[in-house]
Structure 1
């Protein structure tokens, strides 16, 4: 396997409709460790797939350098980069059996029959394809076809695996199953995997580290835990997490008092010091839905920051309820116990756990440390 280094990489495209150019990826610099599972995530058009295609050699960067291992691969053809790519479309040959699909690339590489057989047996065993080798792709389910596409990459034994939204064509249940299988596969192979998705749940469950992108810019690179607990800015805070983080327009009235509309919250003593420089300024308070409690079930958190609020709507999800209400012009979501008895349009006392609060600079949208 191999590490990957991206060094000041920029990619611009010609904008045929508007004229001029637009930047798909802007001055990206980071390193993917050997045997790491790294995920690119972000909304459509953020530059994540372009980044993957540049690593693969399917797109040529406008400037900067790409290393695979210790080699600069800027001018290297995709077939010479020792990578294998799995696409959203399974791209299987419909007239071939599964065994023939798995063997096709190896035959083109002039691999011996004995080695081809050995590699197919290995891949089919770890992917559960043993009983499917004589079938055609049309006889398989979507999940099975995706496993074949992954198997075709495995038999090549590349330095790097590249996955471009491979699960987006599957239904919700199959996506969960395939996520588990891909995580197990990474553990078995000890492979370097670069994975692109727009689904933050996929990113959080699969990635050892995640690259969050927006409008061609890298917003933050961190582990799922760090992204969730310590988002660098409002974009990351709002993109990572389901439901996303709530944002409240606020004023830091004093070192330990935060006014949100008509409410005044007390900032926990442990957090006061880091916000001292923002006294008197407009800020944005960030709070996760699970950190807003129905007061009747706030057994384990401080209850000094609470308010009676009129409920707008509720979604009952069994073990938990999502409760919606407005504060100022913003819609707020609370994730409360499924045992909470709350009805739409009634007033209810909610506890805001500011031990888990984040404050953001309203102008730069950066988190205040």
Structure 2
């Protein structure tokens, strides 16, 4: 396996109406050897373009890409020692699974005995030994996805590249495949670069995550760091399901004034935000940090307010509740045992120990 380096990578496209458009803007980072790194972001953010540049399917406008110690700017895709798994499985329908797995090796004129040994090993890793003599049309979506992964495994590449490989699967199968991909990474000790638009998929798979928007890297961090210490409003709103709530507010001493409520800050937050005293800020709080007082052994004497619930969504063990603070709609996630009902007033506690504040001008998190 090998590390992958991006050094000042820029990718531009020509648009008839807009002129030069940046798909990737000055990206520099390193994918560590044996790391599972995930690119995530909305459509058009540059994540797939970044992956295709590693593969050599797109040529960067400027900057350098290294795989291991080798500069690969001018290296043909087939010579980069990478294997790619696409969103569509790209299996040959007229071939058996055995033939599909061995096709790439056969084109490389790999000895027949070696091809068979690698097919057997990949089939064992993915538990598909009983499928080798079938055709793709006889397989389910999950089985075909395993075959596509197996075709990459037999190559024994330095780097595996995954381009939204689970997008065509149903929700239950996607969860199963996420578990299998995590186990596969541990077993192969492989360097994996994975692209997805699904932040849940990114958080569950990635050892580190690259969050992109409009061609720019917003943050590179572990799932825990992204969730607890987002760099800016975009990351805070993109990571988390449901996303973080944002409310316009004004900071005055140990109080945070919104359109409807005045919150009292914990002492450590007062010190942290002292520089912004008297200024407008954006108050961020995650849904799970808004609690129903019905389930609390004792009700705090601060930051408890009565709200009117607009909508209550039942998710089994949890409820998603929706209510307004001024012009802002907030979401809370509470235990279903609270038995909250739509269009009824209820008392909620806002846990400001987990709050975040953002600068409304720069949109960056205030440290």
TM-score by length of 1: 0.98
Matches within 5 A, 1:145-294: 145-254=144-253, 256-294=254-292
User: What displacement does 1:298 show?
Assistant: 3.1
SS in 2 for 1:194: strand
Partner of 2:114: 115
Residue 294 (structure 2) pairs with residue 320 (structure 1)? no
Specify whether residues 286 and 134 from structure 1 end up closer, same or farther in structure 2 by C-alpha distance, changes over 3 A only.
same
Residue 351 (structure 2) pairs with residue 337 (structure 1)? no
CA distance in 2: counterparts of 1:157 and 1:71, whole angstroms = 18
Partner of 1:3: 3
User: What displacement does 1:260 show?
Assistant: 1.3
8 Å CA contact retained: 1:211, 1:218: yes
8 Å CA contact retained: 1:303, 1:352: no
Partner of 2:67: 68
CA distance in 1: counterparts of 2:194 and 2:243, whole angstroms = 22
SS in 2 for 1:205: helix
User: What displacement does 1:302 show?
Assistant: 4.8
SS in 2 for 1:362: coil
CA distance in 2: counterparts of 1:246 and 1:366, whole angstroms = 15
Partner of 1:79: 78
| Number of aligned positions between the proteins | 367
Segments of 5+ residues of structure 2 without an aligned counterpart are none
8 Å CA contact retained: 1:318, 1:338: yes
CA distance in 1: counterparts of 2:311 and 2:27, whole angstroms = 42
8 Å CA contact retained: 1:303, 1:351: no
How big is each residue's C-alpha offset from its partner over 1:108-167, in whole Å with a ceiling of 9 and x where there is no partner?
A: 111111111110000000101100000000000000000000000000000000000000
Partner of 1:347: 345
Specify whether residues 103 and 303 from structure 1 end up closer, same or farther in structure 2 by C-alpha distance, changes over 3 A only.
farther
Specify whether residues 334 and 120 from structure 1 end up closer, same or farther in structure 2 by C-alpha distance, changes over 3 A only.
same
Specify whether residues 172 and 303 from structure 1 end up closer, same or farther in structure 2 by C-alpha distance, changes over 3 A only.
farther
SS in 2 for 1:339: helix
CA distance in 1: counterparts of 2:324 and 2:117, whole angstroms = 61
User: What displacement does 1:303 show?
Assistant: 5.1
Segments of 5+ residues of structure 1 without an aligned counterpart are none
User: What displacement does 1:204 show?
Assistant: 0.3
User: What displacement does 1:341 show?
Assistant: 2.0
TM-score by length of 2: 0.99
User: What displacement does 1:299 show?
Assistant: 4.0
How big is each residue's C-alpha offset from its partner over 1:252-283, in whole Å with a ceiling of 9 and x where there is no partner?
A: 022x1111113111110122111001011110
User: What displacement does 1:38 show?
Assistant: 0.1
How big is each residue's C-alpha offset from its partner over 1:50-77, in whole Å with a ceiling of 9 and x where there is no partner?
A: 0000011000000000000011100110
User: What displacement does 1:99 show?
Assistant: 0.1
8 Å CA contact retained: 1:92, 1:101: yes
Partner of 1:15: 15
Partner of 1:97: 96
Partner of 1:138: 137
